[in-house]
Chains A and B, each alone.
Chain A
Amino acid sequence: MNHPSLRISFQAYIRKPIYSASLAVFRIVFGLMIFGSTVRFWLKGWIDELYIKPQYFFHYYGFEWVKPIGQYTYALFALCGISALMFALGLWYRIAAILLFLSFTYIELMDKTNYLNHYYFVSLVLFLMIWLPANSNISMDAKRKPALLNRFVPLWTVGSIRLMMGILYVYAGLAKLNSDWLLEAMPLRLWLPAQNDTPVIGALFNHVWIAYAFSWFGAIYDLTIPFFLINRKTRPYAYLAVIVFHVLTSILFPIGMFPYVMIVSALVFFDSTDADRLLMRIKQILHSLPIAISDNVYTFARLREKGVLWMLSGFFLLQILLPWRYLLYKGELFWTEEGYRFSWRVMLMEKMGYAQFVVKDGVTGERIAVNNNEFLTKNQEKMMATQSDFILQYAQILKQHYEKNGVQHPEVYATVYVGLNGRRSRLYTDTSVNLANEKDGLKHKTWLMPFSDKIYGL
């Protein structure tokens, strides 16, 4: 892009006007979906179960200050749900987008036990949406101030969401290019037979070649689907594939809202003319709706646009680099999970652990066997038993608890066994290391035992 004419053409390209209907429709469906999933979360009783009942919470490194807020957690979810509705309606859009981003992200940061890639994706998209003029069509804001109506927005606005989706899919695909996934059909080889009582197709899952077919298809799907979606000719088939693929995964695996998030989000790849045509049809029936009909183009103040574009460049550079950070750590990524999160590694591992802790009085030498159920929920214990940063935080929780209860200079020792993708379980931690002395951080954890096998690939 050093060549001046290239730069101009790129600048012109990303500012090419496209119908704002595309952005507005995305705003509506995305907002409604977050609203729906907040209600679902509430009705399932998960607020109490995941954020109020547990005694301890696992924080993200650097976000120790984000803590659950007891009964007020309900208010936080209410705020999240209400701002999602406002967001969908385009009512006080900018404020709604900021509140939604903050409340949703705060909820996700409260306990990393509940980390899910699609929550992370929602947070990222909401962050993008703060900066985009998604209320410039079919919004309550435009009803109040018709001057906000613009039938066109610059391409980069919708383009940034498409790029985010593209990054997610391609990285999810790259993450599958490893020997466990492609050559052993792990973990699908274990997961599919567990679903062999699914109606109609269930019996197929007893065949190991189906696991291979699913693995390979999944990898190829993830790597290519954004390109097929962006291409006008292949788009209808690609979107059909999106629906089939994600509906299938939702039948087979307990992955909650993720398939629906993806099915809905992929709509953003459709031509903005399609979205505009849809709105025009609606306008014919419901005349009073604030839908842009005159050909105005939303224009950013020059400096503001420049600022936002630079910021987004930084954002996407970070998104592109973050999944590779695992290369900075030694050891097998799947084993240590150092650099595993925030990298679109979805459903890649069958990993299970068993962790026993002993607390030793540093003065008397007296030892206490810890019952994990006294400190952690089943879900937290399960997550803790396979992830090094959880193990360390738990050791610190134990240290503080026993210190308060009269154990002098408590030492914490862990015996953890972990099984990964059908391999025999192995000792995960160095049982002789006093974890009370270990500091949490981004550095490699030296007290992890090395992985006894080798996984090739990315």
Chain B
Amino acid sequence: MKKTLVFAAVSVLVSVFSFMSCKKDDNNTVAEPGLDRAPMLTNYADNYIIPAYAAMVKDLKALKAKTDAFVANPDAATLSELKSSFEAAYITWQKTDVLEFGPAEDVSLRMYMNTYPVTITKVNGNITNGGYDLEQFGNKDAQGFPAVDYLLNGNANTIELFTTDAQSAARKQYLLAVVNKMLQKTEGVSNTWVSYRNTFVAATGTDVNGGLSKMVNAYVLYFERYLRSGKVGLPVGAMTGVAKPELTEAYYTPQLSNVLSQYAMAAAIAFYEGKSYDGTGSGASMKTYLASIGTKDDNGTAMADLIVSKLKQAETRLKALNTPIKDAVISKRPEVLTIYDDMQQCVPLLKVDMVSAFGISITYTDNDGD
């Protein structure tokens, strides 16, 4: 028995040292600082998330000011200013939408901000009947950016609707209510992040409560469901074969749809790469963490880099589309389907390869496994 024990001990040692020596060129033999999750979470919280919500609040305050001005004096000039502040805020939202976890998830921020398509009958019903409660789940598709888009751009005679129309007063009130709701919700999330920040950064575990798990789950879900499907897949009918242009984001401002999806795609890349919100700096990120884990594809390309190149390929193709998405899904169907395919290629890379390498859980059940 002693012999067996000695044999076991020796074989363990021999194997360990032989692997250490033959893997010398592998930089993984030294402790990998890139595997430290706290700096990554800190970078995301301080350099992207908190500034993103601050920017969103700022833009929504501007939107509110322009709405007040327009409501007080609806004319071509105030409307035009309102529209540009609407577009600016909608663009900022594309950089914030990816953050639906923690405080944002707790209040279902996305649902209040950007449920589309907007249901016109609900919007008009609320205006006509009054007594609406925008907090209610049933009103999620009657508010947010899509409702503002409809109110400002859904009709050729916007100024009339806000001046001489029988419902003009109620309509003004509704527009104000919608904008106020957006500001109130976002401010809430922005304020909560100030205290949540430390919780998030301290949750370095990889279980379901870990900061990384929450953030990555939100990121992957966002990319698949809201970026790929929401902005391209559903309007073009990638899986059903039937185009539904009415499902396009910013449907009443067709040229804006493309801009929004381009910003969203760029934000998805920047976020993966750990860029700061203003784009000037970068820090520890999902990409650097994945690079430190060091998974590679069959050709030896680091998965961390492969994901960037696939995301950028989709971005390039998206930028090349010069027809509004709602028209392109019919007139340039093959081109839009190619964009979808490029995005789709990224989904398994993010959802399977990255999540798997991170060793984080994508299930919300804290169940045993083996």
Contact = CB atoms under 8 A, between A and B. Distances in A.
Contacts of B28: 207-208
B16 A209 contact: yes
Contacts of B292: 193
Scoring A213, A382, A419 by chain B CB atoms within 10 A of each residue's CB, the highest score goes to A419
Scoring A217, A228, A256, A424 by chain B CB atoms within 10 A of each residue's CB, the highest score goes to A424
Contacts of B355: 352
B8 A220 contact: yes
A448 interface: no
B307 to A, nearest CB: 11
A382 B363 contact: yes
Interface in A344-393: 346-347, 350-354, 356, 358, 365-369, 377-379, 382
A353 B352 contact: yes
Contacts of A404: none
A197 B292 CA distance: 16
A191 B369 contact: no
Nearest to A352: B356
A367 B8 CA distance: 59
Given A207-B31, A208-B29, A220-B8, A116 B368 contact: yes
B156 to A, nearest CB: 35
A419 B16 contact: no
B5 A418 contact: no
A423 B293 CA distance: 13
B363 A425 contact: no
Interface string B353-366: 10111111111111
Contacts of A231: 1
A213 B12 contact: yes
Contacts of B4: 224, 227-228
B12 A216 contact: yes
Given A220-B11, A224-B4, A224-B8, A190 B356 contact: yes
A296 interface: no
Given A212-B19, A378-B365, A379-B363, A193 B353 contact: no
Contact of A425 (B20, B29, B349): B349
Contacts of B306: 424
B207 interface: yes
A234 B1 CA distance: 7
Contacts of B242: 366-367
A50 interface: yes
B35 A206 contact: yes
B23 interface: yes
Interface stretch (B69-77, B181-189, B190-198, B295-303): B295-303
B360 to A, nearest CB: 7
Interface in B19-71: 19-20, 23, 26, 28-32, 35-37
B351 interface: yes
A178 to B, nearest CB: 15
B231 to A, nearest CB: 15
Interface residues of B, number: 58
Contacts of B20: 209, 212
B133 interface: no
A203 interface: yes
A401 B28 CA distance: 50
A118 B349 CA distance: 32
A331 interface: no
Contacts of B8: 220, 224
A425 B204 contact: no
Scoring B303, B353, B360 by chain A CB atoms within 10 A of each residue's CB, the highest score goes to B353
Given A212-B16, A212-B19, A354-B348, A116 B369 contact: yes
Contacts of A453: 298
A117 B204 CA distance: 30
Nearest to B20: A209
A216 B16 contact: yes
Contact of B353 (A116, A378, A419): A419
A217 B11 CA distance: 9
Interface string A299-343: 000000000000000000000000000000000000000000000
Interface in A240-267: 253-258
Contacts of B12: 213, 216-217, 220
Contacts, number: 158
A233 B2 CA distance: 10
A209 B19 contact: yes
Contacts of A208: 23, 26, 28-29
B240 A366 contact: yes
Given A190-B357, A209-B29, A258 B239 contact: no
B125 interface: no
A368 B244 CA distance: 13
Contacts of A118: 370
A419 B359 CA distance: 12
A372 B360 CA distance: 21
B205 interface: yes
B164 interface: no
B304 interface: no
Interface string B320-342: 00000000000000000000000
A185 B15 CA distance: 12
Contacts of A366: 240, 242
A27 B357 CA distance: 42
Nearest to B30: A207
A379 B12 CA distance: 36
Contacts of B280: none
Contacts of A207: 28-31
A114 B368 CA distance: 9
22 contacts: A194-B206, A195-B359, A196-B37, A203-B31, A207-B29, A207-B30, A207-B31, A208-B28, A213-B15, A227-B4, A253-B369, A254-B361, A254-B367, A255-B368, A257-B368, A350-B359, A358-B240, A369-B240, A382-B362, A418-B352, A424-B353, A425-B356
Q: Which 3 A-B pairs have the closest CB atoms?
A: A256-B368, A194-B359, A369-B239
Given A209-B23, A424-B306, 11 more contacts: A193-B32, A208-B28, A209-B19, A212-B15, A255-B368, A255-B370, A256-B367, A350-B356, A352-B355, A378-B364, A424-B349
Interface of B: 1, 4-5, 8, 11-12, 15-16, 19-20, 23, 26, 28-32, 35-37, 204-207, 239-242, 292-293, 295-298, 303, 306, 347-349, 351-353, 355-370
